[in-house]
């Protein structure tokens, strides 16, 4: 492979990680308009991350063009220009900035010999990678084993381009619309039509409720409690299983349910409107330990409830009603009329499918709910099957309307059509997704959220947990859990997709599909984190009947395929060890397969979901296994970027330290004839390259918290570029050993600066490494100070040290947070500058640091101060000095902003000095 073929990409040198991580975290709080609102999927990657990674993966690093950027300075300047573009690209609100996106696409094209490469994610899931590839102007390809994922990807990247810029049929529009806005309008229109048709058929099952004044209100949800027969033979009556009697804990609007036990053993429920509801153990009748009978206090264990459930003997009682009110939510006591409305027979055409017994993940099975239909009440089954069956009538109607609007008939959607038939199919797909969303808010697994006062969806976690009291939503209300709401979420998601260029999604096993000419960016499943297929069946049993005629290519199987799914499920793959083997072998096989046809000109990117447990006992076995797998499959790892959607300081203060939520690896195919090298040579190359790369990393704005993870990239790159690294005894060096060596060298490289420090800093660093901020004997201080060319007295004068009564210690940042006149200070050191600025920033904020920094810049190099900040973070982390780590990280990660402020301040300072000189004259 020539260097011409293998130009360095931006991702292999640096990326503006801080902004990417911040934007990824912020994305979580943006609820509306994100494509993820189309339909639930698990473990979705933030779009800010996937978009940024794709851009950096495809755009050349300036060092690949020495003709244009001959010096390091020129390369760095260009890199920063590209980072600025990436920072803007990371912001969700810029997605419609056509100039920005045209520039991004142009840069990608220029970096790839005038072509826009095809991007593939073979584990596409919720579609975050293919969608953002498409947004960057690239033909995107998505495949997944799971039909739900494929349907979502089709809805995001394949269907919208067929109707790009097309006007809507309703409202009848002759003007082209941007992207998929016309399609979104029609989804809303036909969604409304679907709702009305269903209401005509089954609306009478959802009667309004009367308040105490006889006024009618639309019901938002009925609150039910599951019941079990009291195990005490003296009182064998149904007793409620309730997690919490509270309905609303909103201040001033509290509401709770008061149960009253009557002499005949019957129980009635009255809603109370005050804050005096039950507390502690009385908050409900079930907690983690078990349940209790409200009739006579008999304890009820879970084993008993399970056996009653398996015998089909769990019941339900209505315990409250939540209704619409002009002022918000109205909580009412149950009534016989309302109970009767729910007493209907099971419809005949319920979805068919068995639930998998996965203890801890899918707990309902153990309570006798073994089929998906068991998770719904008869009324829920009735309304959902009605909505689902009516989708095909609407599809018929759309086709007629589209023909009338002048669209040619064309082929069906699944055969590549883009005319009236395909349009009708497309609308039906989106409506089917809306119905599927409804199932997530319309089963007996939905709880009532007493804080937000809304329906809690089934998949708040990656599980199907057992619920005791549940909220049965009214799909025809206009509030939480209603059907039009689902339609709107779908339409909003469609409005935000790029809808161009043409892209495709299909069902495929990543282990066997074709990768020729594809650039791969992918986020494979990680071990047993999520049982995608088993969870997806919940939706698939509803989606399949709606879509089997429309998307036959995706709905061929009765249930989602499980056998090839790369998930370490101990209940499916022969226990824990069998599951681990299945996962690791399967994972390695996929990446060995991709390697066979991989492009050499563009790296592949792989996301690795970091698990906290990985770090237990200082080993990260999952991480080693992954690196091992990739390397032995013939990949060279050229970069490792810690990406997260949690903000780092919060993580630090949570004690989770510098763990990223995931790591993105850039990988290149290793030449088959790569040589092997001895360890000695490995160490030499490692040292040389790490020194250089660390400089680039620091300059790229990587936060100190991310440094050790980011530095693994260039380190492991050296290791994986050779077929083998041989230890002194001739054995082959393992990945674990290589990682250890990399960390060691990283330490050394960081420590290399020691020799260049001023004596006070040299002393303080060594002292801190040994004793932190703790107190020690003055004698030790004296000795150490002498060996560093300073003395305790000088250190005290330098304001960084205290030595009294035979004891000595370093002054902590908070002790140095007061005013500091740097220019008047007779003895300053790098250490003093970093510790003081970190203290001032923490105690008094940015505005107080800027002027100090401006003065510091007059006395020493700010680059040196920053580098020491990095170093101090690193040392604080090693000492498990969390507070110190937070402070130094904050200082360095805000460096660019602070430095900008300081620069302005310096200009002012100089002008003032100049002004006073002028006056003197
Ligand atoms: C971590 S998820 C991808 C999430 C995605 N990046 C997103 O942001 O939404 C991994 C996906 O791999 C899929 N998968 C598991 N085994 C597979 C296989 N053998 N072939 C293809 N896809 C598979 C799962 O269905 C799941 O959707």
Residue 570 lies in a domain: yes
Average pLDDT of the chain, as a whole number? 92
Rounded to an integer, what distance in angstroms lies between the CA atom of residue 812 and that of residue 803? 14
pLDDT score for 124: 98
CA of 13 to the centre of ligand 1 (A): 28
pLDDT exceeds cutoff 50 at 583 = yes
Helical axes 621-632 vs 575-597, angle rounded to 10°: 40
pLDDT exceeds cutoff 50 at 657 = no
Residue carrying the six token digits 């709107």: 488
pLDDT score for 912: 65
CA of 575 to the centre of ligand 1 (A): 22
Tens-digit pLDDT profile for residues 594-652: 999 999 999 999 998 765 444 544 445 678 888 999 999 999 999 988 887 655 454 44
| Mean pLDDT of all residues in 838-846 | 94
Rounded to an integer, what distance in angstroms lies between the CA atom of residue 882 and that of residue 665? 28
Residue 45 Cβ inside 6 Å of ligand 1? The answer reads yes
Tell me which of 125, 155, 587 to substitute to probe ligand 1's pocket, judged by most ligand atoms within 8 Å of the beta carbon. Answer: 125
**Contact predicate 529/462, CB 8 Å:** yes
| Mean pLDDT of all residues in 743-750 | 82
pLDDT exceeds cutoff 70 at 216 = yes
Token pair, residue 149, equals 């994922």
Of 443 and 661, more confident:
443
Residue 355 Cβ inside 6 Å of ligand 1? The answer reads no
Q: Which residues of 714-750 are buried (b: 16+ CB within 10 A; e: fewer)?
A: bbbbbbbbbbebbeeeeeebebeebbebbeebbeebb
Q: Whose CA is nearest to atom 5 of ligand 1?
A: 125
Give Cα separations from 228 to 97, 287, 305 (angstroms): 58, 15, 7
Residue 27 Cβ inside 6 Å of ligand 1? The answer reads no
> 796 with 887, same domain?
no
| Mean pLDDT of all residues in 168-185 | 88
Token pair, residue 411, equals 């082929």
Q: Which residues 6+ apart lie within 8 Å of 403 measured at CB?
A: 409, 420
| Mean pLDDT of all residues in 493-514 | 97
pLDDT exceeds cutoff 50 at 338 = yes
Token pair, residue 87, equals 């920072």
How many CB atoms sit inside 10 A of residue 324's CB?
Answer: 17
Residue 784 lies in a domain: yes
Token pair, residue 811, equals 């002054």
Q: Which residues 6+ apart lie within 8 Å of 876 measured at CB?
A: 882, 884, 885, 888
How many CB atoms sit inside 10 A of residue 106's CB?
Answer: 12
CA of 377 to the centre of ligand 1 (A): 32
Rounded to an integer, what distance in angstroms lies between the CA atom of residue 875 and that of residue 435? 54
> What SS3 string covers 695-724?
HHHHHCCCCHHHHHHHHHHHHHHHHHHCCE
pLDDT score for 411: 98
Closest atom of ligand 1 relative to the 586 alpha carbon: 19
Of 721, 747, 773, which marks where a domain is finished?
Answer: 747
Residue 75 lies in a domain: yes
- In which band, very low, low, confident or very high, does the pLDDT at 788 lie, cut at 50, 70 and 90? confident
Kindly report the CATH number assigned to the domain that includes residue 529. 3.40.50.150
Rounded to an integer, what distance in angstroms lies between the CA atom of residue 96 and that of residue 82? 19
**DSSP notation for 56-122:** HHHSBPGGG-TTT--SHHHHHHHHHHHHHHHHHHT-GGGTT-HHHHHHHHHHHHHHTTT---EEEET
pLDDT score for 619: 45
Rounded to an integer, what distance in angstroms lies between the CA atom of residue 552 and that of residue 545? 11
Residue 33 lies in a domain: yes
178-187, 268-277, 497-506, 703-712: segment of lowest average pLDDT: 703-712
Range list of H helices, 261-419: 302-310, 336-342, 378-404
Helix, strand or coil for residue 528? coil
| Mean pLDDT of all residues in 658-666 | 74
DSSP state of 558: S
CA of 181 to the centre of ligand 1 (A): 29
Q: Which residues 6+ apart lie within 8 Å of 291 measured at CB?
A: 228, 241, 285, 299, 300, 301, 302, 305
Helical axes 621-632 vs 735-751, angle rounded to 10°: 110
pLDDT score for 186: 97
Q: How far apart are the first and last CA of the chain?
A: 69
Tens-digit pLDDT profile for residues 370-381: 999 999 999 999
> 792 with 825, same domain?
no
> 884 with 796, same domain?
no
- Is the bond preceding 501 in cis, omega lying within 30 degrees of 0? yes
Residue 775 buriedness (CB in 10 A; 0-12 / 13-18 / 19+): exposed
pLDDT exceeds cutoff 80 at 122 = yes
| Mean pLDDT of all residues in 529-558 | 97
Residue 158 Cβ inside 6 Å of ligand 1? The answer reads no
Give Cα separations from 843 to 652, 654, 838, 894 (angstroms): 18, 20, 9, 15
How many CB atoms sit inside 10 A of residue 457's CB?
Answer: 18
For the chain, the domain total comes to 3
> 88 with 153, same domain?
yes
| Mean pLDDT of all residues in 392-410 | 97
> 780 with 822, same domain?
no
pLDDT score for 30: 87
Rounded to an integer, what distance in angstroms lies between the CA atom of residue 21 and that of residue 703? 10
- In which band, very low, low, confident or very high, does the pLDDT at 874 lie, cut at 50, 70 and 90? confident
> 772 with 732, same domain?
no
CA of 152 to the centre of ligand 1 (A): 12
Helix, strand or coil for residue 682? helix
CA of 400 to the centre of ligand 1 (A): 37
- In which band, very low, low, confident or very high, does the pLDDT at 311 lie, cut at 50, 70 and 90? very high
Residue 589 Cβ inside 6 Å of ligand 1? The answer reads no
pLDDT score for 659: 46
CA of 624 to the centre of ligand 1 (A): 21
Rounded to an integer, what distance in angstroms lies between the CA atom of residue 208 and that of residue 206? 7
Closest atom of ligand 1 relative to the 529 alpha carbon: 1
pLDDT score for 704: 80
Residue 582 Cβ inside 6 Å of ligand 1? The answer reads no
CA of 615 to the centre of ligand 1 (A): 24
| Mean pLDDT of all residues in 461-468 | 93
pLDDT score for 754: 76
Rounded to an integer, what distance in angstroms lies between the CA atom of residue 343 and that of residue 165? 48
pLDDT score for 747: 81
pLDDT exceeds cutoff 50 at 3 = no
**Contact predicate 779/745, CB 8 Å:** no
Element (H or E) spanning 666, and its range?
strand 662-669
CA of 606 to the centre of ligand 1 (A): 12
- In which band, very low, low, confident or very high, does the pLDDT at 656 lie, cut at 50, 70 and 90? very low
Residue 464: strand pairing partners: 362
Of 703, 718, 747, which marks where a domain is finished?
Answer: 747
Token pair, residue 474, equals 């009214």
Tell me which of 38, 120, 149, 554 to substitute to probe ligand 1's pocket, judged by most ligand atoms within 8 Å of the beta carbon. Answer: 149
- In which band, very low, low, confident or very high, does the pLDDT at 750 lie, cut at 50, 70 and 90? confident
Residue 377 lies in a domain: no
| Mean pLDDT of all residues in 176-181 | 91
> 23 with 140, same domain?
yes
CA of 565 to the centre of ligand 1 (A): 8
pLDDT exceeds cutoff 70 at 654 = no
Residue 325: strand pairing partners: 328
Single out the residue of 198, 51, 229, 268 nearest to residue 138, CA to CA.
51
Rounded to an integer, what distance in angstroms lies between the CA atom of residue 152 and that of residue 83? 31
Rounded to an integer, what distance in angstroms lies between the CA atom of residue 704 and that of residue 891? 10
pLDDT exceeds cutoff 50 at 708 = yes
- In which band, very low, low, confident or very high, does the pLDDT at 672 lie, cut at 50, 70 and 90? very high
| Mean pLDDT of all residues in 43-54 | 96
**Contact predicate 32/492, CB 8 Å:** yes
Q: Whose CA is nearest to atom 4 of ligand 1?
A: 125
Closest atom of ligand 1 relative to the 522 alpha carbon: 6
> 89 with 132, same domain?
yes
- Torsion, CA 521, CA 526, CA 531, CA 532, rounded to 10: 0
pLDDT exceeds cutoff 90 at 720 = yes
Helical axes 532-547 vs 420-439, angle rounded to 10°: 130
Residue carrying the six token digits 């002008």: 911
Closest atom of ligand 1 relative to the 50 alpha carbon: 8
Q: What are phi and psi of 270, to 5 degrees?
A: -120, 130
Residue 190 lies in a domain: no
Residue 80 buriedness (CB in 10 A; 0-12 / 13-18 / 19+): middle
CA of 752 to the centre of ligand 1 (A): 44
Residue carrying the six token digits 């330098």: 798
> 771 with 736, same domain?
no
Q: Whose CA is nearest to atom 3 of ligand 1?
A: 125
pLDDT exceeds cutoff 90 at 843 = yes
pLDDT exceeds cutoff 50 at 919 = no
- In which band, very low, low, confident or very high, does the pLDDT at 705 lie, cut at 50, 70 and 90? confident
CA of 368 to the centre of ligand 1 (A): 30
Element (H or E) spanning 851, and its range?
helix 846-859
CA of 307 to the centre of ligand 1 (A): 36
Tens-digit pLDDT profile for residues 67-106: 999 999 999 999 999 999 999 999 999 999 999 999 999 9
Helix, strand or coil for residue 322? strand
pLDDT score for 759: 93
- In which band, very low, low, confident or very high, does the pLDDT at 531 lie, cut at 50, 70 and 90? very high
Helix, strand or coil for residue 481? coil
**DSSP notation for 625-663:** HHHHHHHHTTEEEEEEEEE-SS-HHHHHHTT-TT--SEE
Rounded to an integer, what distance in angstroms lies between the CA atom of residue 342 and that of residue 249? 27
Residue 44 Cβ inside 6 Å of ligand 1? The answer reads yes
Residue 332 lies in a domain: no
Ramachandran area for residue 328 (φ above 0: left; ψ -120 to 50: alpha; else beta): left
Residue 646 lies in a domain: yes
The set of long-range contacts for 832-835, using a CB threshold of 8 Å and a minimum separation of 24, is 832/760, 832/798, 832/799, 832/800, 833/859, 833/860, 833/865, 833/868, 834/865, 834/868, 834/869, 834/872, 834/888, 834/891, 835/800, 835/811, 835/872
> 659 with 512, same domain?
yes
> What SS3 string covers 167-195?
CCCCCCCCCCCCCCHHHHHHHHHHHHHHH
Of 806, 829, 844, which marks where a domain is finished?
Answer: 806
Residue 421 Cβ inside 6 Å of ligand 1? The answer reads no
Tell me which of 27, 50, 145 to substitute to probe ligand 1's pocket, judged by most ligand atoms within 8 Å of the beta carbon. Answer: 145
Residue 808 Cβ inside 6 Å of ligand 1? The answer reads no
> 778 with 734, same domain?
no
Token pair, residue 379, equals 């009324």
CA of 510 to the centre of ligand 1 (A): 9
Residue numbers of the domain that contains 909: 812-921
Q: CA 427, 430, 436: angle at the middle one, nearest 5?
A: 140
> 776 with 855, same domain?
no
- Residues of the chain with pLDDT > 90, as a percent, come to 78
- Most confidently modeled range among 141-150, 522-531, 705-714: 141-150
């Amino acid at each position: 492979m020539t260097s011409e073929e293998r130009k360095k990409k931006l991702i292999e040198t640096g990326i503006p990680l801080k902004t990417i991580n911040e934007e990824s975290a912020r994305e979580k709080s943006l609820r509306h308009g994100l494509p993820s609102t189309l339909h639930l999927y698990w473990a979705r990657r933030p779009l800010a991350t996937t978009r940024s990674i794709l851009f950096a993966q495809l755009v050349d690093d300036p060092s690949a063009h020495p003709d244009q950027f001959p010096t390091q300075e020129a390369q760095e300047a260009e890199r920063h220009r590209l980072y600025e573009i990436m920072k803007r690209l990371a912001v969700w609100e810029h997605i419609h900035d056509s100039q920005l996106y045209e520039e991004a696409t142009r840069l990608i094209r220029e970096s790839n010999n005038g072509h826009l490469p095809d991007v593939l994610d073979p584990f596409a899931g919720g579609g975050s990678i293919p969608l953002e590839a498409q947004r960057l102007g690239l033909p995107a390809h998505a495949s997944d084993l799971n039909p739900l994922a494929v349907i979502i990807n089709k809805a995001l990247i394949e269907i919208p381009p067929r109707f790009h810029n097309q006007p809507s049929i309703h409202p009848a529009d002759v003007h082209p619309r941007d992207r998929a806005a016309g399609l979104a309008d029609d989804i809303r229109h036909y969604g409304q039509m679907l709702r009305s048709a269903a209401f005509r058929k089954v609306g009478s099952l959802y009667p309004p409720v009367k308040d105490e004044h006889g006024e009618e209100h639309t019901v938002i949800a009925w609150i039910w409690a599951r019941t079990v027969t009291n195990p005490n033979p003296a009182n064998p009556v149904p007793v409620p299983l309730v997690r919490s009697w509270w309905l609303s804990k909103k201040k001033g609007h509290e509401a709770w349910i008061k149960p009253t036990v009557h002499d005949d053993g019957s129980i009635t429920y009255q809603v109370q409107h005050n804050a005096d509801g039950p507390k502690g153990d009385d908050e409900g009748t079930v907690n983690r330990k078990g349940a209790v009978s409200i009739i006579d206090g008999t304890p009820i264990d879970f084993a008993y409830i399970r056996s009653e459930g398996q015998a089909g003997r769990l019941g339900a009682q209505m315990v409250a009603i939540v209704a619409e009110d002009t002022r918000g939510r109205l909580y009412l006591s149950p009534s016989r009329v309302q109970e009767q409305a729910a007493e209907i027979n099971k419809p005949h055409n319920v979805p068919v499918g068995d639930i998998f017994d996965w203890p801890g993940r899918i707990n309902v099975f153990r309570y006798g709910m073994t089929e998906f239909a068991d998770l719904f009440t008869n009324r829920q089954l009735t309304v959902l099957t009605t909505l689902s069956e009516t989708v095909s009538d609407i599809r018929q109607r759309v086709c007629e309307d589209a023909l009338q609007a002048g669209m040619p008939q064309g082929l069906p959607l699944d055969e590549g059509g883009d005319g009236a038939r395909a349009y009708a199919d497309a609308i039906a797909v989106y409506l089917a997704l809306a119905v599927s969303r409804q199932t997530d808010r319309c089963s007996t697994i939905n709880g009532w959220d007493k804080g937000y006062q809304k329906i809690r969806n089934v998949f708040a976690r990656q599980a199907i947990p057992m619920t005791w009291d549940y909220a049965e939503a009214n799909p025809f209300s206009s509030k939480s859990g209603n059907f039009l709401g689902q339609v709107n979420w779908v339409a909003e998601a469609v409005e935000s997709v790029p809808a161009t260029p043409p892209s495709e999604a299909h069902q495929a096993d990543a282990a066997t599909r074709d990768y020729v000419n594809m650039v791969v960016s992918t986020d494979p499943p990680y071990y047993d984190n999520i049982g995608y297929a088993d969870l997806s069946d919940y939706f698939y049993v509803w989606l399949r009947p709606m879509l089997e005629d429309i998307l036959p290519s995706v709905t061929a199987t009765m249930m989602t395929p499980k056998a090839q799914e790369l998930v370490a499920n101990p209940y499916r793959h022969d226990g824990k060890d069998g599951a681990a083997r299945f996962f690791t072998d399967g994972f390695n096989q996929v990446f060995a397969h991709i390697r066979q046809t991989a492009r050499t000109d563009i790296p592949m990117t792989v996301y690795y979901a970091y698990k906290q447990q990985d770090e237990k006992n200082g080993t990260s076995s999952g991480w080693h296994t992954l690196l091992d797998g990739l390397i032995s499959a013939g990949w060279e790892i050229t970069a490792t970027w810690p990406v997260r959607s949690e903000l780092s300081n919060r993580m630090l203060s949570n004690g989770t330290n510098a763990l990223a939520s995931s790591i993105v690896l850039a990988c290149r195919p290793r030449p088959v004839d790569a040589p092997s090298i001895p360890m000695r040579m490995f160490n030499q190359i490692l040292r040389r390259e790490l020194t250089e790369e660390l400089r680039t990393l620091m300059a790229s704005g990587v936060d100190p918290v991310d440094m050790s993870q980011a530095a693994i990239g260039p380190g492991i790159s050296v290791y994986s570029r050779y077929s083998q690294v041989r230890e002194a005894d001739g054995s082959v060096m393992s990945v674990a050993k290589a990682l250890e060596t990399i960390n060691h060298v990283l330490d050394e490289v960081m420590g290399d600066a020691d020799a260049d420090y001023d004596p006070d800093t040299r002393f303080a660093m060594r002292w801190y490494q040994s004793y932190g901020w703790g107190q020690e004997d003055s004698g030790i201080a004296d000795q150490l100070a002498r060996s560093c060319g300073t003395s305790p007295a000088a250190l005290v004068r330098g304001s960084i040290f205290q030595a009294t009564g035979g004891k000595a210690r370093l002054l902590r940042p908070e002790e140095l947070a007061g005013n500091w006149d740097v220019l008047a200070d007779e003895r300053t050191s790098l250490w003093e500058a970093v510790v003081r600025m970190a203290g001032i920033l923490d105690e008094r904020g940015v505005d107080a640091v800027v002027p100090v920094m401006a003065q510091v810049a007059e006395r020493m190099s700010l680059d040196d101060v920053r580098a020491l900040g990095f170093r101090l973070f690193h040392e604080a982390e090693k000492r498990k000095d969390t507070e110190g780590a937070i402070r130094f990280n904050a200082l360095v990660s805000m460096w660019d902003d602070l430095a900008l402020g300081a620069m302005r301040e310096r200009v002012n300072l100089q002008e003032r000095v100049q002004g006073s000189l002028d006056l003197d004259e």
